[in-house]
Structure 1
Amino acid sequence: MTTVDPRTAAARPGRLPRPRAARPDVPDAELERLREENAALRAQVRTRADELDLATRMLAARAQTMTSVIDAVTEQSIIGTDRDGVIRVWNPGAEKMLGLPRPDVVRKRSIVEFHQPEELEAAAEGCGSATGLAALVHAAQEHGSDVRDWTYVAADGQERTVSVAVTPRTDDRGVHAGWNFVGTDMTEARATERMKDQFVSLISHELRTPLTSILGYLELVLEDEGQPLTEEQRKYLTTVERNADRLLRLVGDLLFTAQVDAGRFSLQPQDVDLAGVLRAAEETARVTADAAGVEVVVEIPEDGVVVPGDAVRLGQACDNLVSNAVKFTPSGGRVTLSLRSGWAAPDGTVGDEPRFGSAPVAQLAVSDTGMGIPTGEQGKLFARFFRSSTAQRNAVPGVGLGLAITKAITTAHGGTLDVVSAEGEGTTFTLTLPRATA
């Protein structure tokens, strides 16, 4: 029979030492305390092990969820890189867009290899970067994110216009680990936009030239004192002139919206007295209002209100609001044009007195007692070619460009355009602009 030394057995790996027999020089109380501490340590180790196991499983589940979500995106490319631009994430959308399977790309290719070289070089020169990757991530590095069009080059050499959202990527410790590139193929959309802009510009030019000629000859005929017209002839030619003017304004609106979409909308800033703009709009609408039986009231402060802006464009915006108010107000109704100075708080509210953090503004309001706009349609008012159901039911003329143009002009001046309306109770449009101060 083999004899086993208890001390050797206690030291075997994987086994905790067994309690030693009580020694005469160690009190029983001390031994009991040591046993309790040993038990507490064992429990703590088991708890920490359980917590670590749970955290590991949660992290694995989270990673699996993220992978599943990324792999489920098939219409957008999701590409993740390390700090040097080497691709680490390549989803099915990227495979579809760029024509390469994941094993051929991950850890083998750089993101810059799928960009048009000339475009990268131009971008690098523009931001003072030495490399293509630096040009790609320059704006995202400065602002935290960036979205713009880039040209992707697929494996077969086909080029695509892609709207790419770039954001930094961090590891589980929060340390910068690379970049995320989420791309949406905009090739067809951008081509459609270019064709639309070209079509609008062409049609506008081809219509504006003959219309201008027609209006010029109409003016000569109507004002020719040597060959006076009969009342019936003058009536007919005046109708022709009115409709030619209407067509010319429509052509101008179409051309303006094309300029806004193409980013070619520019302003000629100067100090503009909004009181004069409002009076001019009232004079323009006066004939139409009188004919429709609509009263126009003007409420303007005596000292006026000056704002920095383009007088022509602000006049166009004001004319649109006033003419709309007159059109949508039935006979016997009222249109009120008002102007006031105020102070805009950071939350957007406007008061008469300055407060901490407030900025000087001017508010131009056009109110009517007309048919109003349904609540569910008010969010669509500033979309091009949108016409409310009340306008359609009451056969109010128009094509739905006026408010879209007014909104674009207001935004270009750093202002806001708000609407308050109730069906059957009227509408108020309020144009708020930064105000010049002495």
Structure 2
Amino acid sequence: MTTVEPRSAVARPGRIPRPRAGRPDERDAELERLRGENAALRAQVQSRADELDVATRMLAARAQTMTSVIDAVTEQSIIGTDRDGVIRVWNPGAEKMLGLPRTEVVRKRSIVEFHVPDELEAEAAACGSAAGLAALVHAAQEHGSDVRDWTYVAADGQERTVSVAVTPRSDDRGVHAGWNFVGTDMTEARATERMKDQFVSLISHELRTPLTSILGYLELVLDEDGEPLTDEQRTYLTTVERNADRLLRLVGDLLFTAQVDAGRFSLDPRDVELAGVVRAAEETARVTADTAGVEIVVELPEQGVVVPGDAVRLGQACDNLVSNAVKFTPAGGRVTLSVRSGWAAPDGTVSAEPRPGADPVAQLAVTDTGMGIPSGEQTKLFTRFFRSSTARRNAVPGVGLGLAITKAITTAHGGTLDVVSAEGEGTTFTLTLPRATA
């Protein structure tokens, strides 16, 4: 017997069966929900694609801008390398400085090939690194950047003194990818500096010899008892002696600045009592101050303040500060010399009481009630031969070497020299030095 299925239970080919009678239309609802999610996903993908397209175009524009900037630099060499020193960036400035086109260098040459081997070996020995690229980048690797003079060798064999700034280079993920070398040709500038220093040293030596002789003979004449001088003659010769002394001091200052620039400035370190330095400076300036009608006041602590240093150089620094203060203070004014001990925090602030992490220091301050220094000129005060507008306007004598020398002496002692001044109200120079402790 053959069983016949009910006709209503058989689905026709190619047609979706309708929901059975009595079931809610869940399938249609599910399909509608899936269509909605699909549309949302499509919209999200399109949004991400648009964002990616914008980011790609921004990166391309940024790369193009950076390339344009690098290519626009023609007076400085910009060289980028990978981690092994192989050159990847070579701008027109590098082409001009080293005489090779980009096509002959990029991915073909190492930065080391453009350096003097002996110079790299000497640096490697000094810093304890391997020769070659390691010697070039060890300081930048340790401190994040490094600027110093190196000798570049051009394609024609010509050597050039170049101030090179070295910095690490990272890729888009922040991973170390190599090194950047930005070089400024200092060949002519360094040659000019050497000639200037040689000239200063030569002239200074040539002037010092006859001046010493002149002063010696003047002393003999002024002290001669056999044939006493008339008052007029003594006045003339005393004027000559005073000006010869002034010239001799100027020659000494020129020689000192030449020694500082040449790195030949040395100290004779001992324990120095600052009270003695201040009293000597006050005694030296007393006659000049009295003549100018300027009062000198000395303020010293009951307990001595001792610093490790060169007594002669510290005396020279103090003399310069006191001499300047007297010159810039009009009659009726006051110059105050003070010494105090303190504690310097890492941020440079000094307090009277010890604090955690603070180092013992001594401060020697010279304060005047003089004409002051314009605020815009105070950063230039320690530059050689710089003279403030107040000095020029009031015809204060000087050549602008005293503060530069004082700054060099302070730095050599591991200290700092600060200035606080207001035009028309006076000036305070504060010399802060490491203090000896028992």
TM-score (normalizing by structure 1):
0.91
Q: Which residue of 2 aligns with 1:55?
A: 55
Partner of 2:337: 337
CA drift of 1:358 comes to 2.6
Partner of 2:218: 218
Structure 2, gaps ≥5 residues long: 1-14, 21-25
**1:435, 1:23 → 2: CA distance?**
99
Residue in structure 2 matched with residue 287 of structure 1 by the alignment:
287
- After superposition, the C-alpha distances for 1:355-404 in whole angstroms (9 at most, x for unaligned) are 33332222211112222222322222211111122222222111111111
- Write the deviation string for residues 9-40 of structure 1: whole angstroms up to 9, x where unpaired: xxxxxxxxxxx957759733332332233222
Paired letter, 2:218? L
Equivalent in the alignment of 1:67: 67
Amino acid at match of 1:134: A
Please give the alpha-carbon distance, in whole angstroms, between the structure 2 residues aligned to 1:434 and 1:317. Answer: 16
Decide whether aligned partners of structure 1 residues 232 and 171 sit closer, same or farther in structure 2, where only a CA change above 3 A counts.
same
Q: Residue deviations 1:268-308, cap 9 Å, x none?
A: 22211111100000000111111222111111112121112
**Deviations 1:24-74 (Å, cap 9, x if unpaired)?**
597333323322332222222222222221221111111111111111111
Aligned to 2:395: 395
8 A Cα contact 1:342 1:363, kept in partner: yes
Q: Is the 8 A contact 1:22 1:28 kept in 2?
A: no
Q: Which amino acid aligns with 2:248?
A: L
The higher radius of gyration belongs to: 2
Q: What residue in structure 2 maps to residue 181 of structure 1?
A: 181
Q: How far does residue 228 in structure 1 lie from its aligned partner after superposition?
A: 2.6
In the other structure, the counterpart of 1:13 is none
- The 1:334–1:127 alpha-carbon spacing in structure 2 relative to 1, beyond 3 Å, is closer
Distance 1:290-1:50 versus aligned 2 partners, 3 A rule: same
Give the whole-Å Cα distance in 2 for the aligned partners of 1:353 and 1:120: 48
Deviates more, 1:87-96 or 1:373-382: 373-382
Look up the match of 2:266. Answer: 266
Matching of residue 95 in structure 1 with residue 98 in structure 2: no
Matched, 1:78 2:78: yes
- 1:154-303 matches, within 5 Å, as 154-303=154-303
Q: What amino acid sits opposite 1:37 in the alignment?
A: E
Moved more, 189-198 or 410-419: 410-419
- 1:160 is paired with a residue of what secondary structure? strand
1:198-239 Cα distance to aligned partner (Å, 9 max, x none) = 111111111111111211222222223333322222222211
Task: Give the whole-Å Cα distance in 2 for the aligned partners of 1:312 and 1:398.
Answer: 22
Of 338-347 and 79-88, deviating more is 338-347
Partners of 2:156 and 2:180 in 1: CA distance: 24
**Compared CA separation, residues 374 and 41, structure 1 to 2 (3 A):** closer
Q: Structure 1 pair 415/221, CA: closer, same or farther in 2 (3 Å)?
A: same
Q: 1:313 to 1:152 in 2, by over 3 A?
A: same
In structure 2, distance between residues paired with 1:120 and 1:346? 35
Alpha-carbon distance change, 130 to 434 in structure 1, aligned in 2, over 3 angstroms: closer
Matched residue SS, 2:165: strand
Q: TM-score, normalised by structure 2?
A: 0.91
Structure 1 SS opposite 2:44 = helix
**What aligned pairs does 1:403-414 form with structure 2 within 5 A after superposition?**
403-414=403-414
The one-letter amino acid of 2:103's match is: P
TM-superposed deviation, 1:250: 0.3
Moved more, 163-172 or 131-140: 131-140
After TM superposition, give the deviation of residue 259 of structure 1 in Å. 1.3
Matches within 5 A, 1:116-155: 116-155=116-155
Q: CA deviation at 1:130?
A: 4.1
3-state SS, counterpart of residue 367 of structure 2: strand
Matched, 1:352 2:352: yes
Q: Which runs of 5+ in 1 are unaligned?
A: 1-19
Q: 1:243-287: per-residue Cα shift (whole Å, max 9, x none)? A: 111111000100111111122222222211111100000000111
Higher alpha-carbon deviation: 183-192 or 389-398: 389-398
Q: CA deviation at 1:106?
A: 1.0
Decide whether aligned partners of structure 1 residues 131 and 415 sit closer, same or farther in structure 2, where only a CA change above 3 A counts. closer
Q: Quote the residue 2:109 is aligned against.
A: 109
Look up the match of 2:6. Answer: none
Q: Secondary structure at the match of 1:304?
A: coil
Aligned mates of 1:182, 1:222 — CA distance in 2: 63
C-alpha distance in structure 2 between counterparts of 1:326 and 1:98, whole Å:
54
Matches of 1:21 and 1:270, distance apart in 2:
106
SS at match of 1:387: coil
Name the SS for the 1:183 alignment partner.
strand
Q: For residues 89 and 61 of structure 1, what CA distance do their matches in structure 2 show?
A: 18
Is 1:437 the counterpart of 2:419? The answer is no
Q: Given the superposition, is the C-alpha separation of residues 33 and 255 from structure 1 closer, same or farther in structure 2, using an over 3 Å criterion?
A: same
Shift of 1:77: 0.1
The answer to which of 148-157 and 184-193 deviates more is 148-157
Q: Quick one: distance in 1 between partners of 2:382 and 2:127?
A: 36
Partner of 1:27: helix, strand, or coil?
helix
Q: How far 1:169 sits from its partner (Å)?
A: 1.2
